[in-house]
A and B are shown apart, each in its own frame.
Chain A
């Protein structure tokens, strides 16, 4: 979607948008953010997830002589233009996986952004007979969305590339304990949700809002009719649903004041979200639309996952015809598997680099949207063939308003819960603890 539609009518306008595919173009308001000195711009967060570990010898920085003197390794060459915006975080462990139910991949993906164990139970049985439920708490993106997502039309956007495993192995974002958020895998649906309503005028939008309010008020009243007659477990389900309807109604008043880079992209071609061949196009479209959503201030919080743990996926466009999970079990002495794994992980870096490039092209004040964006990239295991939860490949990009970037840091057995606390702090959420409290010691030292 760098195939941006060059519509001068649209490019000169700012957008006011409501949820549910309706937006309105407003006449240019010169008072909008562009360039006002000292103005605060919104901060954005993206969580990025790729599965099954990495090839550590090609992933971690080389020639490290000090935290600020190091070279990018093979996998991260695409990120060279952004080297001074990166932070490599060595020695950070998913300690939350040391105990509690679930298989190694299940625990890793569930705990990665929640800092929580999995719930016990028999819901999900992995192929090794391990049993577990969902992660037992909110994920860090959603905690942040409660603060900075308020007032934007879309509280948070969950995007997936073949993230089609609909159980604990496939979910990274949680609204709360046992409440996973499904990712959108189809760029057409993402487009529809974000941009379909661009172009409605204020009168149309006001009428749409009034109608929706009447409908949703009626709907909300209906929940009382049902919830008095159900079990307590079902009442919780209905209450949660009712809260979501209320949120939907509240978000209708949200407005987005986009920058001049807020340009509705072209309608994406029809793609098959299950096809391995379509994965690169889908990943590119997702990230381009996310960048535009930031430019339009449609949302400030997102997650982006490339497939799920334990997947069978091949990357034929890289000439990588091994299956993801099986491939990750091969040791580095398998030169073909090694080549494929490095190629895949380099491609993941390329996706991130493309996204950072897009953000760096969207002006915001005297800088760009990239200056106001933080990306945290993680994985549910360190290496596929050890399943280790120590020294997880954690990398941040951006966040320069809070973190001292351009460094490669080495911790000793740090708890990743502390990293999540640091992310909360970076996004303006005061916290000293996140997830499982006994694993928290405050934010990671030496980041700010």
Chain B
């Protein structure tokens, strides 16, 4: 039997119990400086960033079906959840087909097509003809027009023929409506609909960077910035070949950012970046003045998302993310937090005690806590991993920490301090807890407090080894930490990296260094404007080009 290492004693274990509870992202890769080339590409040297097939996520599927057919029934509710990497559920490496998903693609397609036909074949696939041949011809028209919207590009001759054959067969043996219905089913289960495919056979330039064609770029832009298929103006631009220059792409990107779908996209990003799924089913003991806490995690999430919306769409920059003192409360959260709130819906409170910005948000503080106490470890890990893209170093090989028995009656800080003081653990955990202790004025409900167990709360913390001198050092509470992070270059780069991961559907590799660097520079130059960051991602070479593939010439 393998011996269990007890070297660490009790100190680390409770800490690890908390620290191990969430998956962390890997760190940002080291950027390499852009290098000039004579082909018009800035990033002309080295391996090209990958452009993998991207399977639609549930959210993208529903939005696409809504745009395609006006069907807002959210048919993906029966799909299994996507696998996640570094918080994101659109990661192309792990969001792949599985038996349940493929079965549900079929069921969803059957439901969607039945509803579409029931709503009116005449609008969907108008046909004046009455003979079988005439109706088959109408089918071909439907396949060409609807197929183009479903595949987000014109169908090839072979593709059109395959669907025309299905249509004609069903039209001849069943009915016109059945033919429409089954054609929709087949289109919606085809890989050209379910995946975003960035490759058509193309000549390979010397650089190895193949420019995406207009339809591919339209899809990339729309799924990044709106989480759905291209809208009519974007299709029009692709049809007209008006997506070839960076200026044309920028025009479309800025237009898309003003659409309603962009707002839900930003929410989707924020949910994943901040890993707000942890708020689902949030468990809390009842609290004075609130009789029912079931589902309160959903209230916290909405509160936090409204804060993030305001930050993105009204304030618009990184500084406001950390320093905007708004808090959004509904009646229940108002009762919990002791803030005045409307009877229905959410409203902003600008002067809540202890309100600083993102880091003091009740939703965030409640999420990064235990059910019955604050969570210095979760909070420290969050700041280091999500905001600074710092890795937690792995523990020594073979380490198998053994838990301590608890010592009742201590403050949270005292309970956790014992762990950072044990020599074998402190190396890592000073990094985590030193940050997390600075949040002690926010309890597990996100309530601001100055006392715990009748004693004054000590919210002193220390940032260590952040990789940025201006961030490191002792600090007192969230206000001081927020001020530091608001002007941190590392935070700025980390947010850029997270948006890049979201846009590309993968974690960056070395090949992305140059493109990512471009994005970071533009974001910094804009003074941390979120929209400029997103436009920069859309204009990056990794976004506009793909590597050469086997089928290329």
Contact = CB atoms under 8 A, between A and B. Distances in A.
A214 B22 CA distance: 45
Interface of A: 19-21, 93, 98, 103-105, 122-131, 134, 155, 158, 162, 164, 166-167, 169, 175, 179-184, 189, 192-193, 211-212, 214-216, 218-219, 221-223, 225-234, 237-238, 240-241, 244-245, 247-248, 272, 274-277, 310, 312-314, 316, 321, 323, 325-326, 328-331, 333-334, 337, 384-391, 413
B17 A326 contact: yes
Q: Which 5 residue pairs of A and B lie closest in terms of their CB atoms, listed nearest first?
A: A274-B281, A385-B403, A329-B403, A182-B80, A127-B20
B546 to A, nearest CB: 10
Contact of A233 (B21, B52, B158, B201): B52
B50 to A, nearest CB: 7
B50 A323 contact: no
B182 A231 contact: no
B99 interface: yes
Contacts of B102: 241, 244-245, 248
Interface string B89-101: 1000110111111
B394 interface: yes
Contacts of A184: 80, 100
Contacts of A215: 109, 166, 182, 185-186, 189
Nearest to B85: A123
Given A215-B166, A234-B53, A312-B371, A126 B20 contact: yes
A129 B189 contact: no
Given A214-B169, A326-B370, 10 more contacts: A19-B103, A129-B24, A164-B81, A211-B170, A214-B166, A226-B191, A230-B549, A231-B50, A276-B283, A323-B283
Nearest to A221: B162
B186 A219 contact: yes
Given A128-B394, A175-B98, A211-B182, A388 B4 contact: yes
27 contacts: A98-B2, A123-B94, A127-B19, A128-B394, A129-B393, A164-B81, A166-B84, A180-B83, A219-B189, A221-B162, A226-B197, A228-B551, A229-B201, A229-B550, A230-B199, A230-B550, A231-B549, A234-B53, A238-B195, A241-B97, A272-B281, A274-B280, A274-B281, A275-B295, A329-B17, A331-B405, A387-B400
Nearest to B110: A20
Interface string B152-183: 00001011001101100110000000100010
Contacts of B392: 125, 127-129
A276 B294 CA distance: 9
B285 A386 contact: no
Interface string B395-428: 1000011111110000000000000000000001
Nearest to B400: A387
Nearest to B170: A214
Nearest to B102: A244
A310 B20 contact: yes
Contacts of A169: 23
A333 B405 contact: yes
Contacts of B31: none
Contacts of B93: 123
Contact of B280 (A128, A164, A167, A182): A164
Contacts of B191: 222-223, 225-227, 238, 241
Indicate the member of B18, B23, B107 with the most A CB atoms within 10 Å.
B23
Contacts of B394: 128-131
A207 B98 CA distance: 26
B25 interface: yes
A245 B109 CA distance: 13
B82 interface: yes
B14 interface: yes
Indicate the member of A126, A316, A333 with the most B CB atoms within 10 Å.
A126
Contacts of B190: 218-219, 222
Contact of B106 (A20, A162, A272): A20
Contacts of A413: 1
Contact of B17 (A162, A193, A219, A325): A325
Contact of A225 (B20, B26, B158): B158
B472 interface: no
Interface of B: 1-2, 4, 13-14, 16-26, 50, 52-53, 78, 80-86, 89, 93-94, 96-103, 106-107, 109-110, 156, 158-159, 162-163, 165-166, 169-170, 178, 182, 185-186, 189-192, 195, 197, 199-201, 277, 280-281, 283, 285, 294-295, 297, 370-372, 381, 391-395, 400-406, 428, 507, 549-551
A125 B25 CA distance: 7
Contact of A330 (B22, B26, B406): B406
A313 B81 contact: no
A325 B103 CA distance: 34
A104 B53 contact: no
A103 B20 contact: yes
Nearest to B370: A323
Contact of B96 (A211, A228, A237, A323): A237
B166 A248 contact: no
A107 to B, nearest CB: 12
A240 B98 CA distance: 8
A40 to B, nearest CB: 27
Contacts of A127: 16, 18-24, 381, 392
Contacts of B507: 122
Contacts of A274: 280-281, 297
A166 B97 contact: no
A197 B197 CA distance: 35
Contact of A240 (B1, B96, B297, B393): B96
Given A93-B1, A128-B19, A222 B52 contact: no
B52 A326 contact: no
A175 B101 CA distance: 13
Contacts of A275: 281, 294-295
Contacts of B19: 127-128
A316 B284 CA distance: 10
B275 to A, nearest CB: 11
Contacts of A384: 403
A225 B159 contact: yes
Contacts of A183: 80
Contact of A21 (B52, B107, B405): B107
A124 B170 contact: no
B372 A166 contact: no
Contacts of A164: 81, 277, 280
A214 B507 CA distance: 39
Contact of A126 (B24, B158, B182, B285): B24
A238 B53 contact: yes
A125 B395 CA distance: 12
A166 B100 CA distance: 15
Contacts of A310: 20-21
Contacts of A241: 96-97, 102, 191
B1 A314 contact: no
A444 B78 CA distance: 40
A227 B158 CA distance: 14
